[in-house]
Amino acid sequence: MNRFWKISVVVVAFTALGAVLAYTALLSYKSTASIAFPLTLQESKVMSEVIGSPQNFDRYALSVEHDRKDGGTSDALVVRMDALRGTVVAGPSNWFEPVLRFSKADLKEFAGDALKLGEGSALIGYRITTKASTPDEAQKKTALLAAYVIDANLRELLIAKIKKTMADREAFIDSTAAEQGAQKYNVSMLEERLGQLKRISVKYPSVNKLEARQVISLGDGGERYMPLPSQMAAVETKVLDIKEKIARSTRGLMQSRAEGEMLEAQRKMTQASLSGRDLMVALLADVQTRLSKSVEGYDKQLFLDYLSQYTSIKVKYLETPRFVVAPEIPVKPFISPLKIIFSFAVLGLLVSLIYQFRAQLWLLVWSTWDEEELHSRGLSSANRTSSLGAAESIKQENGGRGEKYAT
pLDDT tens sequence across 174-193: 888 888 899 899 999 998 98
Domain that holds residue 101: 31-153
Residue 216: per-residue pLDDT: 47
Give a yes or no: residue 102 inside a domain: yes
Residue 278 CA neighbour count, 13 Å, CB half:
17
**Strands of the 29-39 sheet, one edge to the other:** 96-100, 123-132, 29-39, 323-325
pLDDT band at 124 (very low <50, low <70, confident <90, very high): confident
**pLDDT higher than threshold 90 for residue 162:** yes
Could you tell me the pTM of the whole model? 0.67
On whether residue 400 sits in a domain, the answer given is no
The Cα 310–Cα 278 span in angstroms is 13
pLDDT value of position 386: 54
Taking residue 164's Cβ as centre, other Cβ atoms within 10 Å add up to 10
Q: What is the mean pLDDT of the chain?
A: 78
User: What percentage of the chain reaches a pLDDT higher than 90?
Assistant: 16
Asked whether residue 83 is assigned to any structural domain, the reply reads yes
Q: Is the pLDDT of residue 332 over 90?
A: no
Task: Look at residue 220 and tell me whether its pLDDT is greater than 60.
Answer: no
Region 321-329 average pLDDT: 79
Most confident range (mean pLDDT) of 5-9, 64-68, 113-117 is: 5-9
Helix (H, G, I), strand (E, B) or coil at 132: strand
Of residues 215 and 62, more confidence is placed in 62
The answer as to whether 182 is a domain residue is no
Residue among 123, 151, 132, 105 nearest 32 (CA): 132
Neighbour tally for 294: CB within 10 Å: 16
The answer to whether residue 5 scores a pLDDT higher than 90 is: no
In a domain, 140, yes or no: yes
pLDDT class for 388, splitting at 50, 70, 90? very low
What band does 282 get if pLDDT is binned at 50, 70 and 90? Answer: very high
> What totals of helices (H) and strands (E) does the chain contain, helices first?
12, 4
228 or 247: which leads in pLDDT: 247
Is residue 59, in this structure, part of any structural domain at all?
A: yes
In a domain, 87, yes or no: yes
Q: How many domains does the chain have?
A: 1
Q: Which of 25-29, 128-132, 238-242, 375-379 has the lowest mean pLDDT?
A: 375-379
Among the ranges given (6-15, 237-246, 340-349), the one the predictor scored with the smallest mean pLDDT = 6-15
The DSSP line for 309-376 is: HHHHHHIIIIIS--EEEPPP--SS-SS-HHHHHHHHHHHHHHHHHHHHTHHHHHHHHHHHHHHHHHHH
The answer, yes or no, to whether residue 234 has pLDDT greater than 60, is yes
Q: For residues 337-376, b (16+ Cβ closer than 10 Å) or e, as one string?
A: beebbeebbebbbeebeeeeeeeeeeeeeeeeeeeeeeee
Comparing 189 with 327, the larger pLDDT belongs to: 189
pLDDT digits (tens, 9 = 90+) for 293-320: 988 888 888 899 999 999 998 888 887 6
Predicted local distance difference test score (pLDDT) of residue 405:
38
For 387-405, what is the mean pLDDT?
50
| pLDDT at residue 310, as a whole number | 93
Q: Is 106 a domain residue?
A: yes
Specify the length of the chain in residues.
407
- What confidence tens digit (pLDDT) does each residue in 334-379 have? 888 899 899 999 998 898 888 888 777 787 777 776 666 656 655 5
